[in-house]
């Protein structure tokens, strides 16, 4: 039959749609003693271990029981050049950007530094169980190139783009409307669709782009409808006021993006905390995605994302770390903080929904649910192994746990990278702890 074969045994869990309630058993599959056969980077067979096809019965396999095997986490909003910005002492978004972030990102103009950091970035993702991300680069084309090249060597499915920003930032961290367009265009030509890679059109946010650059980003979106668009929207009150002053003709912040053709079903809008009813309506009608970044929103004091209001308004949604405004690389910790943000607003965030979101839900948000975020046969073999007893505190709590939902809740509330005992990318183990 040919091809590289990997066989894995464990407690398999994956989702089919967003759980409608705690007891929505049709929304997921759990196989207590399951097997996965990976061939050429994809899942060739999945099922009960006792049904493993005869030609594989004598083969070596990795036995991950009693741990859960899930699709790898997907992080749809993270900043490649901010691994060393995390935990910078700041009051709020604009202070944090100006004091630390716009200084640090200048270092990524050096391609050798960017290449070194790209390795470390991918290592961090995998150690935390994240097998795919949509990442902002720095303004430098070379930063995106470095990350794409690194992901290619690892056969990771990854999306990134160079950030477009031509005002309100230090000279060394700005491009121009033309160069931002040209560099993004070249990245798309060279990388989009290569290996498992995609290029995203990445205007940083309206505050750091002139009208001319917003036009250029809109032109790219029209010329490349296959590309995701990533940006920030309605994160902080000071930011919103500044944007409204810069674009006085726009109805509101969301309308700034819409006017330039940047509000589409390919748009990943980071934060979306302070949206009006009109803005929520436009998000829903265009199919744009609101990306919830709880650790960032709490750390920077940006506000409380209202998931029920967003969802109730028919807006697509995702959850993400937003490293380095966010404080954890872990989607588990992100779900934990997301739970607290919802709880503060009198809402609930059931663990089944949370784990759907971090896997299939995020895959749907970035248009890749046919390939990742699932363990269905025929999809790409990106999955992780989670140990709900990884720490003493977790093991202690697990002694009284009886249901899958309880186990997932322990994982998200007490877990972090220590709970990720292995990560597989395209059927190959890339990260394992004892
Ligand atoms: N808005 C514009 N740039 C950024 C960024 O790097 N992080 C966050 N959290 N918000 C932003
Ligand atoms: Zn961000």
Judge if ipTM > 0.85. yes
pLDDT at 342: 98
Residues of the chain with pLDDT under 50: 1
* Residue 232 Cβ < 6 Å to ligand 1: yes
Chain-centre distance of CA 251, in angstroms?
Answer: 29
* Residue 104 Cβ < 6 Å to ligand 1: no
C-beta separation of 159 from 137 below 8 A: no
Tell me the residue ranges of DSSP E strands in 153-220: 157-161, 163-164, 197-199, 202-203
pLDDT at 433: 83
CA 231–ligand 1 middle distance (angstroms) = 9
What residue owns the CA closest to ligand 1's atom 1?
232
pLDDT at 22: 79
CA 325–ligand 1 middle distance (angstroms) = 7
* Residue 141 Cβ < 6 Å to ligand 1: no
Ligand with an atom nearest the CA of residue 88: 1
Token output for 299: 């750390």
pLDDT at 434: 62
* Residue 322 Cβ < 6 Å to ligand 1: yes
CA 174–ligand 1 middle distance (angstroms) = 15
pLDDT at 362: 98
Among 75, 76, 77, 79, the mutation site with the greatest number of ligand 1 atoms within 8 A of its Cβ is 79
* Residue 321 Cβ < 6 Å to ligand 1: no
C-beta separation of 28 from 13 below 8 A: yes
What CA–CA distance (Å, rounded) separates 311 from 330? 24
pLDDT at 1: 45
pLDDT at 432: 86
Per residue in 289-331, pLDDT (tens digit) is 999 999 999 999 999 999 999 999 999 999 999 999 999 999 9
* Residue 102 Cβ < 6 Å to ligand 1: no
Q: What is the mean pLDDT of the chain?
A: 97
Distances (CA, A) of 375 to 13, 48, 360: 8, 13, 10
């Amino acid at each position: 039959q040919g091809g590289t074969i990997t066989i894995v045994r464990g407690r398999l869990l994956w989702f089919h749609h967003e759980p409608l309630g705690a007891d929505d058993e049709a929304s997921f599959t759990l196989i207590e003693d399951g097997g996965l056969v990976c061939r050429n980077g994809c899942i060739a067979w999945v099922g009960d271990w006792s049904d493993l096809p005869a030609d594989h019965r004598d083969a070596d396999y990795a036995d991950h029981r009693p741990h859960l095997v899930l699709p790898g986490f997907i992080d749809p909003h993270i900043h490649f050049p901010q691994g060393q910005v995390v935990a910078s002492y700041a009051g709020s978004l604009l202070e944090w950007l100006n004091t630390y972030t716009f200084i640090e990102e200048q270092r990524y103009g050096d391609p050798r530094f960017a290449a070194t950091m790209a390795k470390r970035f991918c290592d961090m993702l995998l150690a935390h169980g994240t097998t795919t991300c949509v990442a902002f680069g720095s303004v430098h084309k070379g930063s995106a190139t470095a990350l794409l090249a690194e992901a290619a060597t690892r056969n990771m499915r990854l999306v990134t783009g160079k950030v477009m920003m031509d005002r309100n930032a230090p000279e060394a961290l700005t491009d121009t409307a033309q160069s931002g367009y040209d560099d993004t265009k070249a990245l798309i030509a060279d990388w989009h669709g290569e290996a498992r890679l995609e290029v995203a059109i990445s205007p940083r946010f309206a505050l750091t782009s002139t009208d001319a650059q917003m036009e250029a980003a809109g032109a790219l979106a029209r010329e490349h409808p296959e590309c995701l668009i990533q940006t920030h929207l309605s994160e902080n009150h000071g930011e919103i006021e500044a944007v409204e002053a810069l674009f006085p003709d726009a109805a509101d912040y969301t309308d700034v993006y819409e006017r330039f053709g940047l509000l589409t079903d390919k748009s990943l809008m980071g934060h979306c905390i302070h949206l009006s009813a009109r803005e929520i309506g436009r998000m829903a009608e265009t199919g744009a995605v609101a990306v919830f970044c709880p650790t960032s929103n709490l750390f920077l004091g940006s506000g409380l994302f209202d998931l029920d209001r967003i969802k109730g308004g028919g807006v697509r949604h995702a959850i993400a770390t937003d490293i380095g405004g966010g404080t954890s690389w872990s989607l588990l910790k992100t779900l934990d903080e997301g739970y607290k943000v919802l709880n503060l607003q009198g809402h609930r965030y059931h663990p089944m929904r949370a784990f759907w979101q971090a896997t299939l839900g995020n895959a749907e948000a970035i248009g890749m649910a046919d390939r990742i975020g699932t363990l269905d046969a025929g999809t790409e073999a990106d999955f992780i192994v989670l140990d709900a007893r990884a720490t003493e505190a977790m093991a202690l709590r697990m002694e009284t746990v009886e249901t899958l939902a309880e186990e997932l809740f322990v994982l998200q509330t007490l877990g972090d990278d220590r709970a990720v005992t292995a990560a597989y990318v395209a059927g190959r183990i890339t990260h394992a702890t004892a």
